[in-house]
Amino acid sequence: MSDKNVHNAGFTSSGIARGSLASSMMSQEARSSGGGVHSGGPTSTLQEMGAKSSTHSTGFTSSGISGGSQAAHMMSQEARSHGGGTPRGGTTSTVQSI
């Protein structure tokens, strides 16, 4: 994953870009959670990465998630909280896909 992909999706240092994939994700996540975007969810995680331009150091790569990285830790936590697997549309799978 590259900072360019995250920025192109609308996650920028200035916030979420209007009319972008990021704004659509934020809207959908807010509706499904009763009006807010949860800390640690896909939208907030990607926005943090986009604001800091820090995707290169998190462990989300074009060849998968790097062992021992922040991404691996995130995936492990998410899998434990969902009974052993990372759910489609969850934070890890969404961030990895972008």
Q: What is the pLDDT of residue 93?
A: 81
Please give the mean pLDDT across all residues of the chain.
Answer: 83
- The residues with which 64 forms a beta bridge, in sequence order, are 61
Q: What is the pTM of this model?
A: 0.67
User: Domain extents for the chain?
Assistant: 1-96
pLDDT at 56 over 80: no
The pLDDT assigned to 84 comes to 84
> Assign residue 34 a region: left if phi > 0, alpha if psi is -120 to 50, beta otherwise?
left
What integer pLDDT is reported at residue 29 of this predicted model? Answer: 85
pLDDT tens for residues 15-41?
999 999 889 889 988 888 888 888 888
Long-range contacts of 26-29 (CB under 8 A, 24+ apart): none
